[in-house]
Structure 1
Amino acid sequence: MRLTVSVLITSVAALALAGPSAAETLQGALAKAYNANPTLTGARAQQRATDETVVIQRAQGLPSLQANSTFAENVLIPPGQVTTVGRTLQNQLQLNVPIYQGGLVKNNVRAANQRVLAGQETLRATESSVFSQVVAAYNDVIRDQAIVELNRANVRQLDVNLTATRDRFEVGDLTRTDVAQSEARLQLARGDLRTAESNLIASRERYVALVGDIPNDLAPPPPLPNLPGTPEQAIAVAVRENPDLQAAARNRQAARFDVFAADASRLPRLSGYAQGASNNFLGSVQSSIPGLNLPNQQTSASLGLQASFPLYQGGGPSAQVRQAQARQSQAFEREIEVERSVVQQVRAAFASWRASQDVIRSAEAAVSANRLSLEGVRAENSVGNRTIIEILNAEQELLNAQVQLVTARRNAYVAAFTLLAAMGQAEARDLNLDGVALYDPTRNYRRVKSIFVDWDSDPTPRPVATRTVDTPALNPENIVGPK
């Protein structure tokens, strides 16, 4: 199936080479969105943040080293002291080594790892969602631009009709009713044109928001080949590869490890420690006993083990375990919920795709029939067998059939791509986008997992997505060619 989508994108590229060099292709639009769509770039940043949870949990099981330094000046010394200390500089170095924590760290790390994998699947889902929106917006622009052109042609034809009707009225061949009918239909057509132009502007603005660039001369997207023949085939693939379903399964595994981690709160813990300390009195030690010399510096060191045995904690650990178990149960239900949603999406997209194909065939037949009908009505009107309103109705029926056809083609394409997305086959790795370096979420995970130092950070964050505030606003005069 991934090969299938690759064939699609390759076909789009071939169409782009065959057409004008300035034409935008579906591949180009998807590449722009992949590199600079803020939803996608933000999801990548969120995944990098999720990667760090493994390092944070792992740190709880590693040794820690801490140094403390304290300086004190005794500004008021009680009288009658045999020995007095005017000032003290105390330094302490302490090493703590966790040895056993009841499995807390181990299970927290396992849970974090599962959530990293779930996040990677969620990132796949985000890519698929963004691409589906781009495909829909791309086809919306093509559809709405075609509808605008159809409505403009209709307005021009009705304007010609009105002129001819007025001329025939002047010579007494038609009545004022015929003129009024022509005028009314022209005004309605002009209103429909304004609505179509507004819809096109909205579609183009959605495209700009998703892709980050103005859609200029969009090349027609080719049909999607080798789609599944039955809903059952599509569901079988989706159950294996749908990213939302895979993420839910990973989160269920993470919830299982959370239960083990919660259980560790009522188990014994053992740690080792080593500490050294030095006290320097900075020559301020004084004694009231003549001839008694006291040291001005002291040092000490110790090694040991520390064990803790929880005996009673007010029922808190049991509550934590039960809470984790409840969340594990929720994760089970969530996985089934996602599976139901995926099945529904696949079946609905499949049905919509098949229905749109039927609508395309019907609309093509309707366009052909309406074209013949219009020619016949015009011919019959020329010999007095048809009225002006019948010509106007025939023209409107042809326009309606043409609009239905371009709408059905858009719906079929979008439904087919939505079906691939629900099957987990519409991501960057499947589309083989030329000139695009695929983002590898595991690369950052491997990088941060090997960092054990405290003084490390990434470069100062900068926006990756492009802004669209400077793109020119669209209006009926610049959305499409001359009227």
Structure 2
Amino acid sequence: MRRALLLLPLLLAGCAPAITARPEASLVTPPADWRTAVPASGPIEAAWWGRFGDAQLSALVGRARAHNVDLAIAAARVAEARAQERVARSLLLPTLSANIPASESRSVNAFGQPSESTAAQPSFQAAYEIDLFGRNAAQVDAARANAAAVAAAREAATLSVSSATASSYVVLLALDERRELLRQTLATRGEALRIARDRAEAGYTSRLELSQAEAEYRATEQQIPAIEAAIARQEHALSLLVGDTPQAIARGAGFDALATPAVPGVLPSDLVRRRPDIAQAEYALAATDANLRGARAQFLPQVRLSASAGAAISSLLGDPIAIWSVGGSILAPIFSGGRLQGQFGAATAQRDQAAFAYRRTVLTAFREVEDQLAVIDRLGVQEAALLAQRAAVAETLRHATNRYRAGYSPYLEQIDAQRALLAVDLALIQLRTDRLTAYVALYQALGGGAPT
């Protein structure tokens, strides 16, 4: 009989379903090199934002990493996941408990006399489940992998906040540069308006040129409040990133002083070890693997041991009486109406979903790096063309101004040349902004500093 009981778990183990392998379509093979060939330097520094050469930018990123509200929430989630891991680990250990019931009673004996008695029965109880088929161990593995995934998600959030802060600061300086350009243009057009007014009052020109000069002045003037509103909104966004109420943001050396960093030399095969979101997806996949093992173990028997020891103490007894018990049980599923099969099928599907989610994360990482490399490469070509265009427009403005002063052309030609030069200068500011923020996005796409 005993041998039959011992063989029962092993016989039932053969009835558990087999765990299938991960889908082959979820596997990812990194390319040998990047599609866009851009000259690269060495590895990324841990404080990569320092490569832009602005101490205020570095200070803002440091404040954001220390005080951002989203990162504080992410840290609390890590603490929660680690606490859940400790809960899961407790399944591998025996439980001990103490019970001390006591009572005092008064009754009437057979002779009609009152009788009082005091009784107590303290005991210690112990219970332990023998994890014969790894069900509890699978839960511990799942909790450990989930805690690691949450920690990786926190690293990804930290990288995202750092990148958002750096990009927002670059955009803020670019807005300052646009405002300064508009102010200079407004001063130039104000002087042109003064000259046009003097010429019109002296009868040298018609009122048409005066109206055109005033229209251009007002067109430039109305752009400045819009830029100032955008600057205020950008400062408020940066304040939120660093965990402060909306306030003014101190600037560093200025937009023109921002350095253009080098492209880091990171191979596609190294990317999967650098990106925290890829690590998060990998840990999430490991958690589903563990959950799948746990779902399979539900088909198998559970072996539990229990023991208790204590004493019976009463005023009616001369001496306490020791009491104890030792026992065990084997709980094996016989019929569950398809519940266990459904749980196992769901766990298998969740594992496959996590495998494809991992593939999607890796492919997205490759795409993001390629996108930024292509942007950086093409923006360099675009900048060369835009600088050549500016030189041509500036020369056009010089000729138009000379022709207007000599009386060979109307004032409208000079206005058109001024508009074209302003548009090109604004486009150059935007292009440099796009290029600097592309470097920020590239550092984020490459996983930031040291590998996670």
Q: Under TM normalisation by the shorter chain, which class is it? A: 0.7 to 0.9
1:418 alignment partner, one of 416, 434, 441? 441
Whether 2:115 is the aligned partner of 1:94: answer no
Question: What amino acid is the match of 1:311?
Answer: I
Secondary structure (helix, strand or coil) at the match of 2:326 reads strand
Q: Quick one: distance in 2 between partners of 1:82 and 1:308?
A: 52
Secondary structure at the residue paired with 2:333?
A: coil
Per-residue deviation, residues 427-467 of structure 1 (Å, max 9, x unmatched): 4x48xxxxxxxxxx9xxxxxxxxxxxxxxxxxxxxxxxxxx
- What's the % identity of the aligned pairs? 20
Q: Does the CA contact (< 8 Å) of 2:143 and 2:287 recur in 1? A: yes
- Check if 1:261 corresponds to 2:294: yes
1:225 corresponds to which letter in structure 2? A
Amino acid at match of 1:380: R
State the Cα distance separating 1:273 from its structure 2 match.
2.5
1:349 aligns with 2:372: yes
CA distance in 1, matches of 2:343, 2:276: 30
CA shift digits 1:192-222 (9 cap, x unpaired): 1111111111122222222347432223331
> Does the Cα contact within 8 Å between 2:69 and 2:243 map onto a contact in 1?
no
- Partner of 2:381, secondary structure, is helix
One-letter amino acid of the structure 2 residue matched with residue 388 of structure 1 = Y
Task: State the distance in 2 between where 1:343 and 1:211 align.
Answer: 29
State the secondary structure of the residue aligned to 2:222. Answer: helix
| TM-score normalised by length of structure 2 | 0.81
Which amino acid in 1 is paired with 2:240?
A
Decide whether the 8 Å contact of 2:56 with 2:250 is kept in 1. Answer: no
1:189/1:33 CA distance change after superposition, 3 Å? same
For 2:260, give the aligned amino acid.
Answer: P
How many angstroms does 1:177 deviate by? 1.2
The correspondence for 1:152, drawn from 171, 178, 183, is 183
Aligned to 1:463: none
Q: How many aligned residue pairs are there?
A: 406
Quote the residue 1:275 is aligned against.
Answer: 308
Alignment of 1:397-412 (within 5 A): 397-412=420-435
**How far apart, in 2, do the equivalents of 1:313 and 1:78 lie?**
54
8 Å CA contact 2:185, 2:220 repeated in 1 = yes
Whole-angstrom CA distance in 2 between matches of 1:80 and 1:314 = 62
The amino acid of 1:331's aligned partner reads: A
What 5-or-longer segments of structure 2 have no aligned partner?
A: 1-40
Counterpart of 1:310?
333
* Match for residue 225 of structure 1 among 258, 262, 265: 262
Equivalent in the alignment of 1:290 = none
How far apart are the structure 2 equivalents of 1:310 and 1:410? 65
Instruction: Please give the alpha-carbon distance, in whole angstroms, between the structure 1 residues aligned to 2:86 and 2:114.
Output: 51
Displacement of 1:73:
5.3
Shift of 1:270: 2.1
For 1:33 and 1:272, the matched residues in 2 are separated by 53
2:355 is equivalent to residue 332 of structure 1: yes
Matches within 5 A, 1:101-112: 101-112=132-143
Residues 375 and 435, structure 2, Cα contact 8 Å, conserved in 1? yes
Are the counterparts in 2 of residues 235 and 423 from structure 1 also a CA contact under 8 Å? no
Deviation at 1:255, TM superposition (A): 0.7
Which shows bigger deviation, 80-89 or 3-12?
80-89
Shift of 1:300: 1.0
CA distance in 1, matches of 2:355, 2:111: 74
CA distance in 1, matches of 2:336, 2:106: 44
Do the aligned residues in 2 keep the contact of 1:111 with 1:255 (CA within 8 Å)?
yes
The answer to whether the Cα contact below 8 Å between 2:128 and 2:304 also exists between their aligned partners in 1 is yes
Q: CA RMSD in A?
A: 2.9
The AA in structure 2 aligned to 1:190 is E
Q: Are the structure 2 counterparts of residues 171 and 76 from structure 1 closer, same or farther at C-alpha, using a change threshold of 3 Å?
A: farther
Structure 1 unpaired stretches of 5+: 17-23, 286-293, 431-440, 442-483
How far did 1:132 drift?
Answer: 1.3
